[in-house]
Amino acid sequence: MTKVIDVPPSLDDQSFEQVFEALAPLPPDEKILIDARRTRWASPYGLTALLTVAQTRLQKPALAIPESDDTATYWARTQFFHFAADLYEISGKIPRARSTEDLNVLLPVTPVAKTEDIHRVVDKIQNKAQAMLIGGLHLEPSATMRFTMALSEICQNVIEHAGRGGWVAVHAYRWQKRLGRKVVVISVCDAGIGFRQSLESAHGPRATDRWDDGMALEETVMRGATRFRDPGRGQGLAGVRKFIHDWTGKFSVRSGTARIAIVPEWDGDVPMRENLPFFPGAQVQITIPEKVVP
């Protein structure tokens, strides 16, 4: 019997926990249907994580696409269905994908599996990022270079830690309900080995009573630990943390059963969540808010 996983009407990094919770008890070879018919909106996190879910299944899952024409059309224009068509048995009519030029999609859904992919991601986004960060979010011109560096570091993290490819997307929109300002959101999701297993592959489990996904995230995200022994590696996420602090942005990383976050004053999230439903790999989100101009 096929297990139906309901997708929330509004799909973001918070509401996606409902999907993870429904998936966690299921064996990977159980047939599932991801039912997104009632979904009206999805963040870049939601779209990239849906692709990641399909990669974790041994039997090809089914996907019921949103019934709303506007939503389905938007998903098509973000290139989501271009990749979902290979990963899911899709039910529902997929709208014809048109140009994303008039959308606030800085980077459509894009696979990241090797270093060359990161170069292409950075090349694609530079001009759009400059216009959005300076003209849309009122950040300083220097923010563009630091933004692309942060994006590159997060994608590089997939290659170094995941052990398999992932997905990246960057959208800009007005976050009226939670912030009342424009934001740029970067999401990078993979279904690889995760931070804990990545560190264990080189160093073994830490000799402590508390060696778990939460501690692995603290070691990697906060203290720059890496599975590589050569000096200088592992500073990428530390650099991202500094950039995010300067922009009063938010940075969160979920891996295994834990999620760590750099939380700005404008957000009510908590720095660490543990004992979450297990999901493979790592799911990263960066949110950069519009600067408040006096």
- Cα 264 to Cα 50: distance, rounded to the nearest angstrom: 27
Per-residue pLDDT, 143: 84
Per-residue pLDDT, 217: 93
Per-residue pLDDT, 14: 94
Burial status of residue 116 (CB atoms within 10 A of its CB: 0-12, 13-18, 19 or more): exposed
Per-residue pLDDT, 25: 95
- Cα 225 to Cα 238: distance, rounded to the nearest angstrom: 10
- Please say whether the beta carbons of 282 and 154 come within 8 A: no
Residue closest to 244 by CA, chosen among 123, 121, 154: 154
pTM, two decimals, is 0.91
- Please say whether the beta carbons of 34 and 63 come within 8 A: yes
Which residues, 6 or more positions from 157, have their beta carbon under 8 angstroms from its beta carbon?
188, 236, 237, 282, 284
- Cα 168 to Cα 190: distance, rounded to the nearest angstrom: 9
DSSP 8-state secondary structure symbol assigned to residue 256: E
Per-residue pLDDT, 158: 84
- Cα 14 to Cα 259: distance, rounded to the nearest angstrom: 11
* Bridge pairing between strands 32-35 and 62-64: parallel
Q: What is the mean pLDDT of each run of 10 residues along the chain (294 residues)?
A: 95 96 96 97 97 96 96 94 96 81 80 90 85 86 85 84 86 81 93 88 73 91 69 64 87 96 92 96 93 76
Q: What is the DSSP string of 112-124?
A: E-SHHHHHHHHHH
Hey, is 26 helix, strand or coil? coil
SS3 of 151-220: the string is: HHHHHHHHHHHHCCCEEEEEEEEEECCCCCEEEEEEEEEECCCHHHHHHHHHHCCCCCCCCCHHHHHHHH
Per-residue pLDDT, 100: 59
